[in-house]
Structure 1
Amino acid sequence: MQYSIELNHHLEIFDVDKVAKQAAGAVLMRQGKSVVLATVARENKPVDEDFLPLTVQYIEKTYSVGKIPGGYIKRETKPSDAETLTARIIDRSLRPLFPKGYAYPTQIVVMVLSADSEVDLQVMSLNAASVALFLSDIPIKAPVCGVRIARIDHEFVLNPSNTELKKSSLDLYVAGVKDELLMIEMRALPSKNEDIQAMNELSEDEVLHALNLAQKAILNGSNSYEELFLKHRKTANLEYKIENENLELLSFVEDNFSAKLKNAINQMAKSERASEIYELAKEVLSHQIVVDASWDEEEVLNALNKAKRKIVRHQIITEKKRADGRALNEVRPISIETNILPNAHGSCLFTRGQTQALVVATLGSDSDAQMFDLLTEKAPISERFMVNYNFPGFSVGEASPIKAPGRRELGHGNLAKRALYPSVDEAYPFVIRLVSEILESNGSSSMATVCGGALALRAAGVKSAKLVAGVAMGLVFEEGQTAVLTDIMGLEDHDGDMDFKVAGSKEGITALQMDIKLGGIDQDTLKTALYQAKEARLHILSIMEEADRKIIVNEENLPKLELFSIDPKKIVDIIGQAGKTIKEIIDKFGVSIDLDRDQGGVKIAGTNSTQVKEAKDYILALISKDTKFAGKKPFKKELPHFDIGEEFEGKVKTIAPFGAFVELRDGIDGLLHGSKIQTMLREGDMIKVKVAELKNGKVALDLA
């Protein structure tokens, strides 16, 4: 059965009961030339543990854009960072829909089978997964709908194309069900203004206006999906875990251990671990009444956690006081030290309460940029601003092995990057890598990464437009009242109803991330949270500004840079046959060299200013044929005859920052410039090329 629907500026086509019929729910969705398959599968037996065993996977097939995977293994392997982050967005949007007590192992898989370069795959994939889940026998109340909001020429645009998004100053991704917002991801995009102080922050009112537009589109989408697919829903007799609430034990704990439990809560306010609860549980288990009643450890822990949650939330609502004694809008004490690492380019130790991040900045050359492929882009993307986030177990007192970064680490690093990126000039000549080592954690280490990252940039001499700070907000809805919390700690994150992270400068917001546990949030509460976050952000920024004024930049550690332009025709003289000349210069002076073949730009970077200057003089002498300075006469080799347009299938011999050298014949290599490369190339790959130009004894190539 096929359905077509014109929804939120797009035509969406769904095939139901056509493919993957043994899955609990499946849908084939088409938008433009993009085709996505979303499936939901669940086991028949629930797990014994009290949690939702949900796994979400998002897989981009390279055949969807007519490519074969690069590298030695010619098939899709582990997910890329982009795939992992998209899977995380789908998970965060759909997880709140599952009914309480649902414990069946469930897997949601979204596969991109065909990719249109103009279609937003994140929005499309979430909506396909939502429909598949709604069609399954898992009883969710209504389908989720995801939308993206851009801002182009000061106007908000619903569900822009990928080309339109590149012109936007805003990227706002929102998911919800009916009129309830469940998940928000926002980033301000870098300013195109030549003024280095210009940034695309949004004011709180502008964010609320954009969210209001998103909310209306989500309501439209959620209702439309429900109306369209309600008759196709499957049903099943599922069992739900009934919460075993031992009221007698809970009453016993509250009557006899309230004082000790409050003391444990006070201690837990200093750590994300709940070890104090386990210690108290031992004491409760040793009590004669508990022994006589044969209550086990699981029941006691359950009762203690319920009593703890009631105390924490009741105290916040009725006394306007938190477990650590803070007021609802109070930020924990902050201390900042910069450039504590003598040999690093820039570093900042940012401590807020019991959360501590050591953020280190490293500056590199163009060749240090991270290269990666996107399905919707023809050429590889060069990432010049990177943020890596590490969360070792010792940061929360755990003796756990350090592993490769998981979804949480990638998500937190991506959030910090989105917050900081608008403050860095896109024309900044160095590649920047920020690494955040979380040394202690009790509440929003990602926002500590933002604050520490902004100062680590300044400590490395990076002239960022403005300082950026972040704060995590929480929410408690209890007894018909609402309390918004500033700078939440781990205890409040666990027992609260919302995790809302807000980052920005004094003038506005650069990044948002919200996950709600209630099932939705209204605009009034959202407005309160945004303005309370602004108050906290301004407080944090005032402390950061004081630390910024005290920074002493490690000038001797920073890489030195020379930028100059030459006649583009002379670039081949710097490169030499098969890159021989440029390699000799790099080795001789200990520098890195990046060339712009089209514009004639030359960028030389190194750790020693004298060597950088000498390398510049050497290159200028070389192209002017001052062989006395160059140290030797240029060696010219007679080339075999080549015809313009002559085609070869040659092996890629060398990958350089400016392109690839391809073996032709008779030991001669030609240069395929990077601007002409459409897919990721690796040394040893075979590629079809043709002779485009013969000049100065060099062979320039085009793709055949």
Structure 2
Amino acid sequence: MSTVITHKQFPNHKIFKTEIAGRPFSIEVGKTAELANAAALVRYGDTTVHVAICVSPRPRDGVDFFPLSVDFEEKLYAVGRIPGSFMRREGRPSLPAVLASRLIDRPIRPLFPYDFRNDVCITCTVMSVDYDCSPEVTAMIGVSACLSYSEIPFAGPIGCLEVGYCDGEIVFNPTQEQRKTSRMDVTVAATEKKVVMIEAGADQIPDDIMYEGIVKAHEEIKKQVAFINDIVAQIGKPKMEYDHADFNQELFDKIVDKYMDEAKAAMDTDDKNIREQRWNAMIDKWHEDYLEEYPEMDKYLEEFTYKFQKKIVKAWLLQGHRVDGRAKNEIRPLSAEVGVLPKVHGSGLFTRGQTQVLSVATLNTLAAAQKLDTIWEEEEKRYMHHYNFPPYSVGEAKAPRSTNRREYGHGALAERALVPVLPSVDEFPYAIRVVSEVLSSNGSTSQGSICGSTLALMDAGVPIKAPVAGISCGLIQDD
């Protein structure tokens, strides 16, 4: 690890160096984007990503969420290519870029203060690509470093590693050649003490190998965290004071004290519609009791509902009781049906409780494979999985809009689960598209999409190696 101070024009210019998985890694600050709150030129091997972060000086008015945006921008000059669009310039983010943005967002979002409402915009621009050194890993570590040394409140730093499994060995940040044979593709992000994100795909490997890979990755990530802490010790700025999101604790405590029993009764059902009807009726009573004394109470209602329900659900779970009466390891009633649509190649309807997904498979020649114009090597893919989540699936009176990032992400999640069991091109020389239509959502629609898509593929006659099912799980701690 070393530090270099350069030209007088950039008095704050420093370069911090280390190694990650045996390859050189550096973070260069104080030379680019000086008007941003934090910026760095991050290099891993020959991969170069510019990270810039800006924070608004005041909170955004009228929002009850943290307005964080993360954009991972691919520049095709990074791989010596000219964009294939008519205008020959980059347009909307590609699917891999959207997924990379979500990958970076996921581990950092929980580490900001709960009551922080200032806009934070993170831009990661990929300027050069070495296929042996992941741009996503480079960007995530750079973002962690910039947030940590900036004035933005952030409970980091975090580190990141990709984990592969080649020739019976666990490898970190596998090279281009190793990725071709790796049976495991896992991205782990963690703080010094705890893992905060796991993004995983695998080719039917044993559970103990997956666990070993995650544990070993965390030990290696601790070195990255120490590296970033050293940067903060040298150039870290004092954390900014910010206006905490308004919350009426006095009114909330009154509501909890008076309505706890009624709230528990409202929550204790496996029917989402009944639960919402009971809760809305109880909110009407809150208005009757407190609106005159607290005329601005409506702006707190959504957060009151979240905190109140969280308090009840957590207490029940720690007692071994769930909202719908299930045991902790019990799943909802399942049903599955194939051939539900007469003219399509394959279809499957999967229902779990009040979550329902209809998946439809379509086959075509390889000429219908998706053509990709990205910084990644892959130029086309034969299997495409698309996920649609219309507003009616959660009972919202809204018109459907264009595909959002969440829908892209859930489609990619299901795609990643099914790709390892697809037959090879030689065995099955067809392009495959599966569309998962969420008809009703009461949790875990992405996993329902995996189950429904397995049904649709088998109904279409695709000789998959094994059926795939998905299930979501959570961890509740008494802390």
Q: TM-score with structure 2 length normalisation?
A: 0.92
Alpha-carbon deviation of 1:97?
1.9
Deviation at 1:278, TM superposition (A): 3.5
Query: Are the equivalent residues in 2 in contact too, given 1:451–1:469 (CA < 8 A)?
Result: yes
Aligned 8 A contact 1:118 1:376 in 2: no
AA aligned opposite 1:47: R
Amino acid at match of 1:45: R
Q: Give the Å deviation of 1:295.
A: 6.5
Tell whether the 8 Å contact from 2:391 to 2:397 is kept in structure 1 after alignment: yes
Mapped pair 1:46 → 2:59: yes
Match of 1:285 in 2: 287
The change in CA–CA distance for 1:173 and 1:299 in structure 2 (over 3 A counts) is: closer
Q: Give the distance between the partners of 2:49 and 2:296, measured in 1 at CA.
A: 51
Equivalent in the alignment of 1:161: 175
- Between the aligned partners of 2:293 and 2:40, the Cα distance in structure 1 is 55
Unaligned 5+ runs, structure 1: 189-199, 481-704
The letter for the 2-side match of 1:296 is M
Pairing 1:254-333 to 2, within 5 Å after superposition: 254-266=256-268, 270=272, 274=276, 276-287=278-289, 291-292=292-293, 294=295, 296-299=297-300, 302-318=303-319, 320-333=320-333
Find the residue that maps to 1:119 and give its secondary structure.
coil
SS class of match (1:244):
coil
- 2:403 aligned to which of 402, 405, 410: 405
- Per-residue deviation, 1:90: 0.5
Structure 1 position 271, deviation (Å) = 5.3
Q: Secondary structure at the match of 1:206?
A: helix
Amino acid at match of 2:175: S
**Partners of 2:328 and 2:403 in 1: how far apart?**
33
**Cα distance in 2, alignment partners of residues 262 and 146 from structure 1:** 41
Q: CA deviation at 1:204?
A: 2.1
Does the 8 Å contact 2:54/2:121 carry over to 1?
yes
Equivalent positions of 1:232-631 (< 5 A) are 232-241=235-244, 244-247=247-250, 249-266=251-268, 270=272, 274=276, 276-287=278-289, 291-292=292-293, 294=295, 296-299=297-300, 302-318=303-319, 320-377=320-377, 381-427=379-425, 428-478=428-478, 480=479
Q: Which amino acid aligns with 1:279?
A: A
Q: CA deviation at 1:167?
A: 1.8
Per-residue CA distance 1:49-81 (angstroms, 9 max, x = gap):
232110000001111122221121121111001
Report the alpha carbon displacement of residue 462 of structure 1 after superposing the two structures with TM.
Answer: 1.2
Larger Cα Rg: Structure 1 or Structure 2?
1
Give distance in 2, aligned partners of 1:264 and 1:275: 8
Task: Indicate the SS of the match to 1:209.
Answer: helix
Letter in 2 for 1:429: P
CA displacement, residues 441-469 of structure 1 (integer Å, 9 cap, x when unaligned): 01100000001111111111111111111
Deviation by residue 1:364-400 (Cα, 9 ceiling, x = unmatched): 10111111033242xx622111110000000001122
The one-character-per-residue Cα deviations of 1:542-571 (angstroms, maximum 9, x if unpaired) are: xxxxxxxxxxxxxxxxxxxxxxxxxxxxxx
Alpha-carbon contact 2:58-2:242 (below 8 Å) kept: no
Contact 2:82 2:88 survives alignment (8 Å):
yes
Q: Does the 8 Å CA contact 1:118/1:161 hold for their aligned counterparts? A: yes
The change in CA–CA distance for 1:294 and 1:401 in structure 2 (over 3 A counts) is closer
1:91-170 to structure 2, matched below 5 A, reads 91-170=105-184
Q: Could you tell me which of 162, 177, 185 is aligned with 2:191?
A: 177
Cα deviation, residue 301, structure 1: 5.2
Read off the aligned partner of 2:410 and give its amino acid letter.
H
- The answer for the alignment partner of 1:207 in structure 2 is 210
Instruction: Pick one of 56, 63, 74 that aligns with 2:77.
Output: 63
% same residue: 34
Give SS of 1:470's match: coil
- Establish whether residue 80 from structure 1 lines up as the match of residue 94 from structure 2: yes
- SS of 2:475's partner is strand
- What SS does the corresponding residue of 2:26 show, helix, strand or coil? strand
**Cα offsets for 1:604-649 (capped at 9, x unmatched):** xxxxxxxxxxxxxxxxxxxxxxxxxxxxxxxxxxxxxxxxxxxxxx
Residues 407-427 of structure 1, C-alpha deviation per residue, up to 9 Å, x if partnerless? 100110111011111111123
Gap change, CA 1:112 and 1:343, over 3 Å in 2: same
1:399 corresponds to which letter in structure 2?
A
Match of 1:28 in 2: 41
Deviations 1:164-185 (A, max 9, x none): 2112111111111113111111
Secondary structure in structure 2 of the residue aligned to 1:475 = coil
Instruction: Give unpaired runs (5+ residues) of structure 2.
Output: 1-13
Distance 1:352 1:412, change over 3 A: same
- Determine if the alignment matches structure 1 residue 222 to structure 2 residue 235: no
Contact residue 253 and residue 304 of structure 1 kept, 8 A:
no
Separation in 1, partners of 2:155, 2:261: 41
Describe the SS at the equivalent of 2:48: strand
Structure 1 range deviating more: 411-420 or 42-51: 42-51
SS at match of 2:292: helix
- Measure, in 2, the Cα distance between the counterparts of 1:107 and 1:292: 38
Q: Residues 276, 55 of structure 1: CA spacing in aligned structure 2 closer, same or farther, 3 A cutoff?
A: farther
Q: Secondary structure at the match of 2:58?
A: coil
Distance of 1:111 and 1:91 partners within structure 2? 15
**1:474 is matched by which residue type in structure 2?**
G
CA shift in 2, pair 1:116/1:234, >3 Å: same
CA gap of 1:113–1:299, structure 2 versus 1, over 3 A, is closer
CA deviations 1:495-545 (Å, max 9, x no partner) are xxxxxxxxxxxxxxxxxxxxxxxxxxxxxxxxxxxxxxxxxxxxxxxxxxx
CA distance in 2 between partners of 1:381 and 1:293 (Å): 59
Deviation at 1:302, TM superposition (A): 4.3
Q: Deviations over 1:468-493 (max 9, x none)?
A: 11101022212x5xxxxxxxxxxxxx
Partner of 2:57, secondary structure, is coil
SS of the residue 1:89 aligns to: helix
Q: In structure 2, how many angstroms separate the alpha carbons of the residues matched to 1:272 and 1:76?
A: 48
Q: Kindly indicate whether the alpha-carbon contact (under 8 Å) linking 1:28 and 1:35 is maintained by their aligned counterparts in 2.
A: yes
Report what 2:4 is aligned to.
none
Q: Which residue of 2 aligns with 1:671?
A: none
Distance 1:376 1:120 in 2: 10
Q: Distance in 1 between matches of 2:247 and 2:143?
A: 32
Q: What does 1:674-685 align with in structure 2 at a 5 Å threshold?
A: none
Aligned partners of 1:304 and 1:124: how far apart in 2? 39
For 1:330-353, what per-residue CA distance to the aligned partner results, in whole angstroms no more than 9, with x for missing partners?
A: 100001111010101110110000
TM score, norm. by length of structure 1: 0.63
CA distance in 1, matches of 2:296, 2:81: 61
State the distance in 2 between where 1:211 and 1:367 align. 39
Rounded to whole Å, the distance in 2 between the matches of 1:112 and 1:159 is: 18
SS in structure 1 of the partner of residue 476 of structure 2: strand
Whole-angstrom distance in 2 between the partners of 1:422 and 1:146: 24
SS at match of 1:476: coil
* Cα RMSD, aligned residues only: 2.0
| 3-state SS of 1:146 partner | strand
Aligned to 2:23: 10
Aligned match for 2:32, one of 10, 14, 19? 19
Cα deviation digits, residues 271-304 of structure 1 (max 9, x gap): 59956534321122113x6535657223455444
